[in-house]
Each structure stands twice: as structure tokens, then as C-alpha cells.
């Protein structure tokens, strides 16, 4: 696939936006400026960006508890995101949703989700809506490897295939479900093996290579948009930090040499080397992108700091249930 210089630089910038946003948010959480836990997307940037660059603004995505990266890749506003994570009224959900419920319906981002696997049937529901209304919109379900052991995944996959819905299933196989290695939770090594059981095609891609992910996503999205039904893309990837936060906290469930080996395949730095070697961009130009995004992150933090907490009158606004 021939990508233009503009497309490649856009994908690079999007990955840098995810990386710097996540690292800044993680540090703020660990200093007590953000309530609750944050599940950081650092290391997996190529998956969200590679897929979302294959989508239109009006296409839908559903996310996971590790969902900031998906919203950023879909075009999310970093200031609104930072404000939401700080519980401020100017955030995407008025400060009441936090990290695991963040969404932007105007971008087709149907929300992060704190329940493992629960975002998959939401994407299938969007796919049913799109087919019922006769649009050519596509929905993408992002989920982790552990989600494929959950009933919701299997029910959703079966429904999507039985009804021939325009859905793309994207498994971010990062080798761990919280602190348990995938190899200890399932017999198969490749999630894509499960695709055949529902009658849909599946493909494995290098989740550390944004171009490889993008190429697979373009094909799967085009197939769904043509009305040819679902497909599964399994991206082999790795989260660089702990299940939540940045510090390891003494949880030695991953071999040190494994972590080091995956970090050597950093999706941003390897892509940057490709851009430089291919004459697409110079080192100074790429460094300028990092500088520009850092300034944007600083602005987002300042915006969130200066924003008020939601008023008590907003307690039940936008809440589907919970009357007193």
C-alpha cells in the first residue's frame, strides 16, 4: 500500500499524541491529581492509529478499559480528555465518567468500558443499526485477548456473522489479561483461530507496525463497507507499563528480558526510523512534532487544572438510572 507523506506524518503525530497524553496522565495519577486508576495504552499505539486511520469520522468504534488511545486516534480533544480524567465539568462526560467511560459520540467513539469484553456487543449493536438504516458505516470493536474468553465476545461474534453485519473485530493481543499470561488462560496461541468458528476471515498482523496494521484494517473495513460481513484482525502487541499506572509496584509477573525485547520494537521509534530512512521526513521535522504535541499536552493539563468540578445539580444529568 502506497501511503502519502501526509498520511504517514499524520499517523506518526497521532501515535505521539497517544504516547505523550498517556505518560502525562499516568504521572498525574501517581501524584494524586487524578482519581482512580488509569490503564495506559503506551506500547500499543500502532494498533489504534493503524485502524482508525482506515475509518471515516462517522464510523463507530467501541473501546476497553485501556481506551484513551482509541479516542485520541479517532480525533479526540486532548483538553476535554484531560479534564474528564481529572473529574472536571469541562470533560467529555462532565467529569462523571472518568477514564473507563470516556467517549465522543460526534466522532463515533461509543465509549471506553470497565467491563472486560463488554464493548464488543456495543460495536455489533452499532453495526446492526448501520445495516438496518442502510448506511455504509462500519463499526470496529477493540478488545484484548482475555476478552475472547468472555461470553459477550462469542455471542457478539456469532450475531455479527449470522446477520452479516459491517463489523471489524480488532483483538489487541498484548499477551496478558491483567497479571495472567494468555498462555495460562487459553490453549490456543492465536486468537484468530476462533474466527473460523463463526465463518469470518481472520488475519494476524504485527501490532508494533502501524503500516501493517493499517493495511489489514483497510482491507477489513472495505470488505465490511461493501456488505461482505465481519472480519477479525489480531494485532500482536505489548503494553509497556503495568496493568495500571506507570510504576511496576513490585508486581514481577513479566520477565524483565521480555519487557526489554518488546520495548526495543517501540512502534513510534521504529516508524520514525522508517520515515527517515525512506526520505519521508527528517529528524528535525519529527522532533518538532514531539515538541508541538508536548505543548498541546501542557495546554490540556492547564485547561483541566483551571476547570471547575461539576456542581451537585449535575449529579443525575446524563445518567440513565439512579433516581433517589
- Cell 527528517 locates to 282
Mean pLDDT lowest among 35-44, 176-185, 286-295 = 176-185
pLDDT at residue 151 above 90?
yes
Tens of pLDDT, residue by residue over 209-238, are 999 999 999 999 999 999 999 999 999 999
Residue by residue, DSSP assigns 2-35 as ---HHHHHHHHHHHHHHHHHHHHHHHHHHTTSS-
Q: Distance between CA atoms of 82 and 78, rounded to whole angstroms?
A: 6
Tell me the pTM.
Answer: 0.94
According to DSSP, the residues that pair with 172 across neighbouring strands are 144, 235
Radius of gyration of the chain (CA): 19
pLDDT at residue 71 above 90?
yes
pLDDT at residue 324 above 70?
no
- What is the rounded average pLDDT for all residues in the chain? 93
Query: What pLDDT score does 272 carry?
Result: 98
DSSP letter assigned to residue 65: S
According to DSSP, the residues that pair with 231 across neighbouring strands are 168
Beta strands in 73-224 (DSSP E): 139-144, 167-173, 176-177, 180-181, 202-206
Cα 177 vs. chain centroid, distance in angstroms?
16
pLDDT at residue 241 above 90?
no
Can you read off the three cell numbers belonging to residue 208? 508494533
pLDDT at residue 249 above 70?
no
HSE-CB at 11 with a 13 A cutoff on CA atoms is 33
Amino acid at each position: 500500500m502506497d501511503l502519502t507523506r501526509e498520511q504517514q506524518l499524520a499517523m506518526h503525530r497521532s501515535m505521539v499524541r497517544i504516547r505523550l497524553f498517556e505518560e502525562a496522565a499516568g504521572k498525574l495519577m501517581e501524584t494524586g491529581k487524578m482519581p482512580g486508576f488509569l490503564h495506559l495504552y503506551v506500547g500499543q499505539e500502532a494498533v489504534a492509529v493503524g485502524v482508525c486511520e482506515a475509518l471515516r469520522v462517522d464510523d463507530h468504534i467501541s473501546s476497553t478499559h485501556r481506551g484513551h488511545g482509541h479516542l485520541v486516534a479517532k480525533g479526540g480533544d486532548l483538553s476535554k480528555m484531560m479534564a474528564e480524567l481529572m473529574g472536571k465539568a469541562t470533560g467529555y462526560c462532565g467529569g462523571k465518567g472518568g477514564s473507563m467511560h470516556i467517549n465522543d459520540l460526534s466522532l463515533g467513539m461509543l465509549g471506553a468500558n470497565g467491563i472486560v469484553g463488554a464493548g464488543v456487543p456495543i460495536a455489533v449493536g452499532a453495526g446492526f443499526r448501520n445495516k438496518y438504516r442502510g448506511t455504509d458505516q462500519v463499526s470496529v470493536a477493540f478488545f484484548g485477548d482475555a476478552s475472547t474468553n468472555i461470553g459477550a465476545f462469542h455471542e457478539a461474534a456469532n450475531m455479527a456473522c449470522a446477520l452479516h453485519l459491517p463489523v471489524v473485530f480488532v483483538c489487541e493481543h498484548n499477551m496478558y489479561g491483567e497479571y495472567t499470561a494468555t498462555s495460562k488462560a487459553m490453549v490456543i496461541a492465536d486468537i484468530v483461530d476462533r474466527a473460523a468458528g463463526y465463518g469470518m476471515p481472520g488475519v494476524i498482523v504485527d501490532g508494533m507496525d502501524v503500516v501493517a496494521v493499517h493495511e489489514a484494517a483497510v482491507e477489513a473495513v472495505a470488505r465490511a463497507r461493501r456488505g461482505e460481513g465481519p472480519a477479525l484482525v489480531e494485532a500482536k502487541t505489548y503494553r509497556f507499563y503495568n496493568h495500571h499506572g506507570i510504576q511496576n509496584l513490585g508486581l514481577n509477573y513479566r520477565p524483565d528480558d521480555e519487557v526489554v525485547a518488546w520495548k526495543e520494537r517501540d512502534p513510534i521509534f521504529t516508524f520514525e526510523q522508517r520515515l527517515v530512512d525512506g526520505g519521508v521526513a527528517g529528524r528535525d521535522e519529527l522532533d518538532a512534532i514531539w515538541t508541538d504535541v508536548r505543548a498541546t499536552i501542557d495546554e490540556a493539563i492547564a485547561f483541566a487544572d483551571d476547570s471547575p468540578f461539576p456542581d451537585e445539580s449535575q449529579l443525575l444529568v446524563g445518567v440513565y438510572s439512579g433516581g433517589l
